[in-house]
Structure 1
Amino acid sequence: MSTEPVPALEVQALTAGYDRSTVLDGVDLRLAPGGALGLLGRNGVGKSTLIMTLMGLVTPTSGRVLLDGRDTTGRRPDVIARAGVALVPQGRRIWAPLTVAEHLALAGRGHGRRWTVDSVLDLLPRLRERLAQPAGRLSGGEQQMLAVARALLTDPRLMLLDEPSDGLAPAIVDQIAGLLGTLRREGVAILLVEQDLHLAFTVCDEIAVMEKGRIVHRATTTRFRADRATAHRLLGVA
């Protein structure tokens, strides 16, 4: 009998798109519990569409999505969130007029959760200093921290992050990397869509590359970094 743990996420031949166009063309992906996978690729290859489909915001046309072995294909976003998936979307998408405290109160509704407002604020002390401040007046880095805090308060086992470094200074990106490392040690699996290779290499133990709606390459981070020819061919970087 196999003792291999059930994947936190398993994607099987997933196809999805918009209107009559196909963006995802048979995506296969596995992510172990507590693992971290960096999803790389040029613009327009389907990375964000994959994230949105996994979260239930885009309906797949075929294939399957399994979360901890349970089929969530085509389920509503609220059902998927209750199954243990949280999204940190590109651009943060915080509600500018609401205060930090109001964001956390809305996200933290519910009982018996491992992550509470207090534990999240202990992890992100800068937000504790900004509780009364409208989110629209936060810096870009503080808004990103708020987006992560909001996601954590849903008590996820899997966190989907879409370009969390977008528009942030290198020092703030390093803080994001440290935060994601802490979440991994707490057992949260991470699927990270990212253009910042430094962040992806720091956080993730595996790298997958998308091209034309498919996963075309996967390797450990160490092997991917050592294979400069493949990185250049797939990503156009040295």
Structure 2
Amino acid sequence: MSFLQVRGLVSGYDRGVVLHGVDLDLDAGAVLGLLGRNGVGKSTLIMTLAGLVPPSAGSVLLDGHELAGQRADRIARAGVALVPQGRRVWATLTVAEHLALAARRGRWTVATVLDLLPRLAERRKQLAGQLSGGEQQMLAIARALLTNPRLVLLDEPSEGLAPAVVDQIAGVVTTLRDEGVAVLIVEQDLHLAFAVAGEIAVMEKGALVHRVPTPEFRRDPDTAYRLLGVA
């Protein structure tokens, strides 16, 4: 059995269905890049796995334990960490306060996170609302790491960021992969997705319609154009 096993996942908002029976497998230490046009359900899948959107049907097994329908806090305690689109840091809390609130026992401590993301060490006393976009993204990632997750969900982490910051994100994802953490990354930046993901999956109309190893996806521009509209 895969570390993460999703079967027949259905969810949406109000009376509208967005996910139409998603099936997904992800092994520990694997990185899956999730691509797709706008509005196909990528973020809804991330939010449903994190427990922020309740599923109406389906199963989400993490290491054999059912998470579908659980509260978001219980899913987080089971080892799932979310780095949401748009960072969503608390503007009136300092960097140090963010880190203290997120920290749990495990390999990732405030010290090890600040070693990995030294810019945050320089900004420890600053309010999150005063940070640059790249610094806020680093803070959102640090907050997730400090929960010592087994599965990390990243939703558009490179959005609006400078190339140097995107390179830092790639380094963090590679570190997580090497330590056996499973990573699902939704991304529009193909360069980042190709750099970190062992496989690429594509969503259309609320379902996964294509999944192949990253080198195979890169060798098939016709399929990429058909599914994504990019060469």
Counterpart selection for 1:70 from 65, 70, 84:
65
Alignment of 1:112-151 (within 5 A): 112-151=105-144
Unpaired runs of 5+ residues, structure 2, are none
In the other structure, the counterpart of 1:52 is: 47
In the other structure, the counterpart of 2:16 is: 21
Counterpart selection for 1:193 from 186, 189, 207:
186
Identity of matched residues, %: 72
Q: Report the CA distance between 1:50 and its aligned residue.
A: 0.3
Contact 1:16–1:62, Cα closer than 8 Å, also in 2: yes
Alignment of 1:78-93 (within 5 A): 78-93=73-88
Counterpart selection for 2:56 from 40, 58, 61:
61
One-letter amino acid matched to 1:26: G
Q: Report the CA distance between 1:171 and its aligned residue.
A: 2.0
Contact 1:126–1:142, Cα closer than 8 Å, also in 2: yes
In the other structure, the counterpart of 1:233 is: 226
For normalisation by structure 1, the TM-score amounts to 0.95
- Residues of 2 paired with 1:150 and 1:116: CA distance? 10
- Residues of 2 paired with 1:90 and 1:204: CA distance? 18
Task: Tell me whether 183-192 or 88-97 shows the greater mean CA deviation.
Answer: 183-192
Q: What is the root-mean-square deviation of aligned Cα atoms in Å?
A: 0.8
Runs (4 or more) in structure 1 with deviation over 2 Å come to none
Unpaired runs of 5+ residues, structure 1, are 1-5
One-letter amino acid matched to 2:204: E
For normalisation by structure 2, the TM-score amounts to 0.98
Aligned residues: 231
One-letter amino acid matched to 2:117: L
